[in-house]
Structure 1
């Protein structure tokens, strides 16, 4: 999605073995070269699937501390490297995190935003007439929304495929997160 929506000076995916190996061998100089390439364009360097090389955080910290342009790097991935315990640095004060959630019902139906705060600001005593009329749903629509969920790639799958994918997703989250969380706690003595 970032590659499609965000113009960038450089796009590197760590799913590419050669790119990952290059960054593993010399992270600071490789990132610095990408950063220097991006400097003239004022566009960010996008590093996708960054969780595959969490050690990059230390090199990123060094580069950002030397050149603290906003939006210098955009890091994307399917897992949060900062909760894995493997990142060398938290990049505290140097990073903003954006978590993409599954589609909301309004997004699924391509409804305009509610803008409740704008309505209250425009007429604090009576904002309701300024808000869009809520959509009504019948029982089958509600059941379909709940069963299909909000993950874009899963919404279009046939029921059996979607159920299998959902089950695998839940299993992988539980297995990964439980192991990661458990590793932060001491083993109880018997």
Structure 2
């Protein structure tokens, strides 16, 4: 990717703010989210050391102290999880000298990165999450399209977009890389075929509550194994969970979380959807659109360094509100997400099914249509997510 193809990231301001206060920064996120390009944009004068290179790893282990004397500040350590001892050495170094932004850590195996950070660097490290591109980063580029189905099908990984790699090729290789390099140490070799099937099963649960028992029966593995595999996908920023909101409502509320994917392009690939047009006609289009909207909310918040509290609401009769967003001071917003482009007041029908005596509730429908307000419900087109 040439510098002219680079899409600038909204995380710049938050990165600069965090860099004022911590001696070490960690930039985490899914593989190929653009972490390395982002760091090089932010700190072009830093030395860049990748521990993916076996020769570099050998140099470190031959004489760790001399190695770190050479790179005692203004250094980026990529694939840092490959050197677990690095974290303890850095702890000692920054305890003696807490100059801000001495080191930047990143890596593709987030499960191991998080473990090492929590063990050695708590309180010494500023955490930055970089997810795939958000709408606001694409809007003023040549890669933008007003066709939301094309956007969702292509997905939001920078390398796929700027290099114009066919999605069938990009996501096939993406999944293989995850299996062979990122999680191979976390699952048994004989489980890899099952794990590939497991990821596809997860795609079919996107936007739904996941049933551990059903998946364990289909794959002939234990529910504990399924739970562990979900944790691996979650720590790798492949999936996330939306928790149920069950406070202050006079109904029996479901307490099982719903599963979503961080990238709709990967989701479409796993579902076998070959194009934006195929997505438009797919039975999965509603859930993919819901996934897209909720993930955009998280991207915008994470990249700005903001807190966001999103939930869903579902009662024992199956009546559901797609998103409950806490707005602060006992204010919440009910949000329904619909892929249709046609206004109909019935889109908001579930927003009136839940009442609370202690909360102030506002109401919104996010859909593929025009902005308007009808009674107490705001109808908002998806482009407002920019």
Normalising by structure 2, we get a TM-score of 0.33
Question: Taking structure 1 as reference, are residues 28 and 17 closer, same or farther at Cα in structure 2, changes over 3 Å only?
Answer: same
Separation in 2, partners of 1:174, 1:28:
28
Which residue does 1:150 correspond to in 2? 156
Q: Per-residue deviation at 1:168? A: 3.3
Aligned residue among 56, 64, 72 for 2:86: 56
Q: Whose strand proportion is higher, 1 or 2?
A: 2
Q: Per-residue deviation at 1:86? A: 5.5
Which residue does 1:117 correspond to in 2? none
Contact 1:28 1:60 in 2 (8 A): no
Question: Does residue 13 in structure 1 map to residue 46 in structure 2?
Answer: no
Q: Per-residue deviation at 1:9? A: 4.5
Which residue does 1:82 correspond to in 2? 113
Contact 2:134 2:156 in 1 (8 A): yes
Which residue does 2:122 correspond to in 1? 92
Q: Per-residue deviation at 1:19? A: 2.0
Q: Look up the SS of the partner of 1:97 in the other structure.
A: strand
Which residue does 1:161 correspond to in 2? 169
Contact 1:54 1:87 in 2 (8 A): no
Separation in 1, partners of 2:178, 2:60:
31
Q: Look up the SS of the partner of 1:153 in the other structure.
A: helix
Q: Per-residue deviation at 1:148? A: 0.9
Separation in 2, partners of 1:23, 1:182:
32
Normalising by structure 1, we get a TM-score of 0.63
Question: Taking structure 1 as reference, are residues 176 and 74 closer, same or farther at Cα in structure 2, changes over 3 Å only?
Answer: same
| Higher mean C-alpha deviation, range 48-57 or range 2-11 | 2-11
Alignment of 1:32-71 (within 5 A): 32-35=69-72, 38=73, 44-71=74-101
State the superposition RMSD in angstroms. 3.4
Number of corresponding residues: 149
- Structure 2 unaligned regions, length at least 5: 1-36, 188-226, 230-386
Q: Per-residue deviation at 1:174? A: 9.1
Question: Does residue 22 in structure 1 map to residue 59 in structure 2?
Answer: yes
